Homo-oligomer: A and B are copies of this chain.
Amino acid sequence: MRPTVNDIAREAGVSLATVDRVLNARPGVREKTVKAVNDAIARLGYVRDLTAANLARGRTYRVAVVLPDTESQFIQSLAEALTEAGSLAATSRTELRLHRFPAEDPHALAALLGTLPGRDYLGVALMAPETPILRDAVRQLRANGIPVVALVSDLPNAGRDHFIGIDNRAAGRTAGVIMGRFLGGGPGQVLVLGQSLLARDMIERRRGFDEVMQRDFPGLEALQSLETHGSPATLRQVVREMLANAPDVRGIYAMGGGNRTLTQVLDEMGLSGKLTVICHELTPHVRAALIAGRITAVITQNLGHLARSTLRVLRAKADHQPLDESQEQIRIEIVLRENLPEPPVSQPPTEVDQVA
């Protein structure tokens, strides 16, 4: 049998109350006694039973996730992954609530964040562009003792407690190597598309991409980034224009968003399968395009891991416990048609228990 608090008390020659004070870092215990208890713990190899501890504490981890209300497949998949992770975690006293805010309205976002402290949340996960207003709102939350983690896109200057997502610069480098290698090092030109050159993740991807292209593939020319501002019409127009005027374009790097429109345009121009197309995020549409050969490679992150990591990190932060960094690191995945993972079956709500 594994040792319990009572064993510790006996072994250390103190009472259960004292062991409890030591274990939970409550005041009123002499240094000497603390040491005696810790020695006993070490000697017996005691491991605290967290399930029992949480049960006794009667604690429920209520956590808020705040996402923009964009209709993009990526956000939608992310929301699904989070919801599913939340429902699976329900058996371990964890509750996840999703909040959406108007994508282009920082004030609405700030207002939403302002209401959170009153709702008994133990932590907040947030995906949003880093505006000054947001920074203040995040600081406010943290001042209220609510840990904040940034999701997908980092918020370094807002003082978030943790960032959950990939290293976008490395992701850009990865896209660069694949593009360069797949094109045999050149010669040729590469089109680069991005929603907005102001978003932090886009900037970093572009920087990483250029790094590799310049260093390793001087024979290839990466053209200036084209901004699409999330508008299909704009995307359609700039791509058509560029491809018509630049016969040397052999590859396209889509740094974010608009993949559906992009593949459509390429199809219309009869270019599907003739260019090396690399994009981000394995959404259902991208998956199909990959299988059909319209997209060559995808740089992506596992949204399931991201969602579960979010819950784990927020719980750890709420408990002031250290993280298993290696588990929380989100990998930069390279997906080709050949290593395409099975599509996640969105599970029907189940009555059955799940081991967390």
Contacts and interface: CB of A to CB of B under 8 A. Distances in A.
B51 A324 contact: no
A331 B302 contact: yes
A181 interface: yes
A171 to B, nearest CB: 7
A228 to B, nearest CB: 25
Chain A interface residue bracket vs B = 35 or more
A171 B50 contact: no
B321 A344 contact: no
Interface in A289-329: 302, 304, 308, 312, 315-316, 319, 321-322, 324-327, 329
Contacts of A92: 50-51, 356
Given A170-B339, A184-B184, A321 B91 contact: no
Given A60-B2, A304-B326, A355-B321, A212 B51 contact: no
A48 B353 contact: yes
A347 interface: yes
Copies in the complex: 2
A213 B326 CA distance: 35
B50 A356 contact: yes
Interface in A170-218: 170-171, 173-174, 176-178, 181-182, 184, 208, 212
A94 to B, nearest CB: 10
A313 to B, nearest CB: 10
A334 B334 contact: yes
A173 B339 contact: yes
B49 A93 contact: yes
A116 interface: no
Most chain B beta-carbon neighbours within 10 Å: one of A2, A178, A304, A324: A324
Interface in A261-293: none
A345 interface: yes
Given A184-B184, A321-B355, A326-B344, A338 B52 contact: no
A326 B342 contact: yes
A177 B336 contact: yes
A221 B92 CA distance: 54
Contacts of A5: none
Interface string A331-356: 11110111101101101001111111
A329 to B, nearest CB: 6
A90 interface: yes
A44 interface: no
A171 B333 CA distance: 14
A176 B47 contact: no
B355 A50 contact: yes
Contacts of A302: 331
Contact of A345 (B55, B326, B347): B326
14 contacts: A47-B90, A48-B353, A49-B91, A50-B92, A50-B355, A50-B356, A51-B93, A88-B324, A174-B336, A174-B338, A302-B331, A319-B355, A322-B352, A356-B356
